[in-house]
Chain A
Amino acid sequence: DGGITQSPKYLFRKEGQNVTLSCEQNLNHDAMYWYRQDPGQGLRLIYYSQIVNDFQKGDIAEGYSVSREKKESFPLTVTSAQKNPTAFYLCASSIHRERGELFFGEGSRLTVL
């Protein structure tokens, strides 16, 4: 079955540590996205990539980094520079066409201790 796989589902990190969240898709979608979801704040865009080896900052990119070396993969690194990293992180993909609807993974819950 086609879909988006995020791992790990739950992650705990000590302050000052970097952590990388994995996102893999087998939908053959061109575009991939990372969102952060906090209670009462809705979904906020961190980074997005429309093609391999290219990505753009979203609304809250500070303290995060990404890479897009393969069409199927779009990992997100939460660096120690991110001041409030505890959140639910969602990866999504879309066909790079007019409609633009997103297909989401199951999410990764990051807790900083």
Chain B
Amino acid sequence: QKEVEQDPGPLSVPEGAIVSLNCTYSNSAFQYFMWYRQYSRKGPELLMYTYSSGNKEDGRFTAQVDKSSKYISLFIRDSQPSDSATYLCAMRDSGGSNYKLTFGKGTLLTVNP
């Protein structure tokens, strides 16, 4: 079993739809959870950051972490064509001096006008 599993999509939705992106993981030591957005031929940019379990909201974006199920989600409300990108989940534990992130493979999202 891979450490982080992410549905690669592609996911295509109409403008205004609610989008749900998900990752599952196997390492119970993961404490820090991130979502990155990557436009085509660009570097990823940090979208959301969550520590441990719970929800975090930022505008149209909501990140959820359920550590008991080892499952994280990113919800996008009122999706826009500008949200069309690849979304990567990433996570790490808090142990020692190892600051390596483990990434999912990314989900390609297209929002159609």
Contacts and interface: CB of A to CB of B under 8 A. Distances in A.
A41 interface: yes
A103 B105 contact: no
B68 interface: no
Nearest to B99: A100
B60 interface: no
A50 B99 contact: yes
Interface of B: 6, 8, 32, 34, 36, 41-46, 49, 51, 88, 90, 92, 94, 97, 99-101, 103-106
Given A43-B44, A88-B41, A106-B42, 20 more contacts: A4-B43, A6-B43, A41-B105, A42-B6, A42-B88, A42-B105, A43-B88, A90-B43, A90-B44, A94-B99, A96-B99, A100-B101, A101-B32, A101-B49, A102-B44, A102-B46, A102-B101, A104-B44, A107-B42, A107-B43
Contacts of B97: 50
A19 interface: no
B104 A42 contact: yes
A1 to B, nearest CB: 14
A63 interface: no
Interface string A71-113: 0000000000000000010101010101111111111010000
Contacts of A106: 42-43
A2 interface: no
Contacts of B103: 42-43
Interface of A: 4, 6, 31, 40-43, 45, 48, 50, 58, 88, 90, 92, 94, 96, 98-107, 109
A63 to B, nearest CB: 20
A98 B93 CA distance: 10
A96 B100 CA distance: 11
Given A42-B105, A42-B106, A43-B88, A58 B43 contact: no
B37 to A, nearest CB: 11
A85 to B, nearest CB: 18
B53 to A, nearest CB: 16
Contacts of A105: 43
B46 A101 contact: yes
